[in-house]
Amino acid sequence: MGIVFGAVATAVAYFVPWLPAADSKQADRIHFLFWFTTAICIGIFAVVAAVIVYSILKFRVKPDDDSDGVPLHGNTGLEIVWTAIPAVLVTAISIVAAVILVQNGRAGSDALNVDVTAQQFWWQFTYPTLGKFTSPTLNLPVNQPVVLHLKSVDVIHSFWVPQFSQKQDAVPGIETKLVITPEKLGTYPVICTELCGLGHSLMRSTAVVQSKTDFDKWAQQQKAALHGPPGAAGLTVFTAQGCASCHTFTPAKATGKVGPDLDNLTAAAKKAGQPLAAFIKESITNPDAYIAPGFKKGVMPTTFAQTIPADQLQELVTYLQTGQK
């Protein structure tokens, strides 16, 4: 009976795809721990289910049996067994989990550092050792340990790539860390997994795992784009600051719907009674000063005045201004 229950539970565990693929070294270890624990659970389930079903069948009361049961009072041998076995199993799980936790926190000395900035409702990835460029996507070279240094400029967010099996919060005021060693080329979703406001469900990015050669080429291009032709700088700031996740702006091919459309700022500035450039600048640095009809106060982050350097802010204002019809 135990073998039957064990076989059924094993089939349910094995043939149903419960987990996303494990595509990083850390995910492999986490999946091992998951299945190690599940195997123990299946063993216990099989024994318990077999004993219960056997007891129900074997010790069933006959219809005409009105007598009391046998007065039983404890069974020392059995109690020792059902205390000792779980103690051993729980200790085994703790040891395996502790070893994996330590291994997954270790990056080694040749790790690539990436600064991750979370803000409503966008991810920003900066590569401090590769020329300090900033990217809206998280590009990673395959088989290279990476340390993400997570920060948030407003509320608590949480970084999650399902195929990497790890989540880490980005908390205002402190820096949290996450080590990833991707093992497979491909494109993965980066998901915010902490309810952080109106645009939470849209707070997504992409992780791109590339060969070392492709990654180096990409990094070179990003570095070159930092010092690109005039106009490109404004678009770079627009993209890096995540404006596209909330706003529509045709020159940048942005189609966000959380905040006002940026294609018709001339009319909006007239309505607010301000010159265009001043209106754009104020809307970025002090967004609650004027709220476009149909939108709410407090949705647009008020942190851009601190987070966008003055020269980049100027580029952004110019870029938005020249993009008007």
- Tell me which of 157, 233, 283, 317 binds ligand CUA, using CB under 6 A: 157
Binding span for ligand CUA by CB under 6 A among 87-95, 193-201, 223-231, 239-247: 193-201
The region of 61-69, 86-94, 188-196, 212-220 touching ligand CUA under the rule CB under 6 A is 188-196
The one-letter code for the residue type at 182 is P
Note whether 204 binds ligand CUA by CB under 6 A: no
Comparison of 193 and 321: residue with beta carbon closer to ligand CUA: 193
Q: Is residue 183 within 8 Å of 25, Cβ to Cβ?
A: yes
Judge contact between 116 and 221, C-beta under 8 A.
no
* Among 116, 192, 269, 280, interactor with ligand CUA by CB under 6 A: 192
Q: Smaller CB distance to ligand CUA: residue 121 or 215?
A: 121
Calpha distance 306→119 (Å, rounded): 13
Cβ–Cβ under 8 Å, residues 122 and 131: no
Peptide bond into 121 cis (omega under 30): yes
- CA proximity to 123, closest of 111, 135, 112, 105: 135
Nearer to ligand CUA, 242 or 287 (CB): 242
**Contact positions with ligand CUA (CB under 6 A) in 49-88:** none
- Interface pattern 106-145 for ligand CUA (x via CB under 6 A): ---------------x------------------------
If one asks whether residue 161 binds ligand CUA (CB under 6 A), the answer comes out as: no
Is residue 200 part of the contact set for ligand CUA (CB under 6 A)? yes
Shortest CB 299 distance to ligand CUA, Å: 13
Residue 200 or 223: the one with the smaller Cβ distance to ligand CUA is: 200
Exposure on the CB side of residue 102, measured as CA atoms within 13 A: 5
Q: How far apart are CA 319 and CA 232, in angstroms?
A: 9
- DSSP letters along 194-245, please? S--STTGGG-EEEEEEE-HHHHHHHHHHHHHHHT-STTHHHHHHHHHTTGGG
Does residue 300 touch ligand CUA according to CB under 6 A?
Answer: no
By CB under 6 A, name the binding residues for ligand CUA.
121, 157, 192, 194-196, 200, 203
